[in-house]
Amino acid sequence: MKPNFLIESLTSCSGCISTMISLDIFPQFLDKVNLVRCSFMRDENNISENDIALIEGCVSEEKQIDILKNIRSKSKRVIALGTCAAFGGMLALSTVKEAEPISNYIEVDGIIPGCPPPSKLLGNCIIRLLENKEIILPEKNVCADCEFRTDNIESKFMKRINKLMPREYNLDIENKDKRCFLERGILCLGPITRDGCESKCIKLNLPCDGCMGPIKNDFTSNAINFLSTVNLAKGLRKYKGIFYRYSKPKTKR
C-alpha cells in the first residue's frame, strides 16, 4: 500500500519544490508514493485524504488559511517544506505583504528548513518520511561544521562588525581569507542558524545569512540576543533586513 502524499504551494518562489524534483531520488519517490495533489505540477481542485502533506511557501492571503485548515483536517502529518513555510521566509522583509509560517494557523508535525532546503538534508528527510519516521534535523549551529571556526573566542568577537559582505575582489575562492567572518568584522549569522547546509555559502566565501532558520526561539530574538552581545556597528543596527530576514516575530493574534 503506497502512502498518499500531498504537495501544496502557498506564496513561494517554488524553489523548494524545484529542489525536490531535481533530487536524484525523486523518480524512486514517485514510484513509491501515490501523489494525490501537487499543484506545482498539475491543476487540481479537490483536497483528498492523505498520509503526509508537504507544504511550501508562506501564508500571505486570507484564502490560504482555509486551504491550510482543509489540508490539516485531511492529513495525518503536515510537514513545512522550506523556510517560508517553516518561519515565514524572505517575504518577511516586505512591508506590504504579510508572510507568516503555516504553524501560525495549523499544527505542524515537522519542518524541513532551508531556502531552498539543502538537497542532502531534503533527500534524507524524504526517505525518513517514506519510512514513516520522524524527521531528524541537526541540533547544532552552522559554526559546528564551519571550516573557518576559531576557538579563540577573544579574537573572534573582538572586531567591530561593520560589513555585510566581504569586498568584491575577495570573492576569489582560491585565495580566500581563511579567518572566521566575525573575526574579519563581517556579519555572519552562522552562530544563530541551524546546521545542515554543510556551510555551503561560507565555503564560497559568503557569510551565512541564516536561511536555515533558528534552532530554538525565533529568528529575530536570536538575532537580537546575538548582535547585542557582539560589537555591532551603528550603521548595521539600523539595517532591519538583518533582523527580519527570514521571519518576523510572532505577535498576538
Partner 1 sequence: MDIYSILSHPFRRKILLLLDKEGYISYTELMDRLGLETTGQLNFHLKKLGTLINKDKKSYFLTEDGKRVINLMNIDKKILAGEDIEYLDKVGSEINRVGVIICKCNTEISNLISINALENYIKRIPNVVAVKIFDNLCQEKNLEKITKWSKDNYLNKIVIAACSPKTHLHIFERIFDGVIDKVNIEIANIREQCCWVHLKEPTLALKKAQILIEAAVERVALQKDVQVKTVKIEKSCAILGGGIAGMTLALNLSRAGIKVYLIEKTPTLGGKIARWSKIYGMGDCSICLMSEMIGEVVKEKNIEILTNTEIEKVSGEVGNFSIDLVKKPRYVDEKKCTGCKRCIEICSIEKSNQYEFGLTARKLIYIPYVQSYPYAPVIDQEDIETCRQCRICERACNNNAIDLDQKFEKIRIRVGTKVIAIGADFYSELKPYNHNPQNDVIISPEFERILSADGPTEGKILKLSDGKPPKSISIIQGLGPFDYLAEYCGTLAIKYLESIYSQLPDCKINIFFDLNKIKKSTGFMLDPSDERFHYYENIEIIEKGNKKIIISDSEQYPSDMIVLNVNFVPNKDLKELRKTLDFTLDDHGFMSEETLASGIFGVGSIKGPLDYNSVISSSNDVAIKIISLLSNDYLITEFSGIEIKEENCGLCGLCILSCPYNAITIEADKIAIDKFKCKGCGTCVSVCPTNALDLNIDTTEKILKSIEVFSKFNLRPKIIAFCCRSCGYGAADEAGLKKLSYNPNIFIIKVPCTGRVDTSLIFKSFELGFDGVMIIGCRKDSCRYINSVDQVRQKVKLLKEVLGPIAENRIIRKSLSAVEGNKFAEIVNSFYERLSEEIKNET
* Contact predicate 165/176, CB 8 Å: no
Exactly one of 52, 227, 246, 247 binds partner 1 (CB under 8 A); that residue is 227
**Nearest-CA neighbor of 82 among 69, 68, 101, 64?**
101
105 binds partner 1 per the rule CB under 8 A? no
- Of 192, 197, 202, 211, the residue at the interface with partner 1 (CB under 8 A) is 192
10's grid cell: 502557498
Give the nearest distance from C-beta 110 to partner 1 in angstroms. 17
Q: Does 90 bind partner 1 (CB under 8 A)?
A: no
Query: Does position 18 bind partner 1 by CB under 8 A?
Result: no
Asked whether position 95 contacts partner 1 by CB under 8 A, the answer is no
Provide the b/e sequence for 31-43 (b: ≥16 CB within 10 Å).
eebebbbbbeeee
Asked whether position 207 contacts partner 1 by CB under 8 A, the answer is: no
Member of 65, 93, 224, 233 binding partner 1 (CB under 8 A): 224
Q: How far is the CB of 80 from partner 1 (least distance, A)?
A: 19
Distance CA 74, CA 71 (A): 5
150-169: which residues touch partner 1 (CB under 8 A)?
A: 151, 153, 156-157
Give me the least distance between CB of 210 and partner 1, in Å please.
Answer: 10
Asked if 137 interacts with partner 1 (CB under 8 A), we say no
Closer to partner 1 by CB, 82 or 190: give it.
190
94 binds partner 1 (CB under 8 A): no
The residues that touch partner 1, with contacts defined as CB under 8 A, are 139-145, 149, 151, 153, 156-157, 190-193, 195, 214-218, 220-222, 224-230, 232, 237-238, 240, 243, 249-252
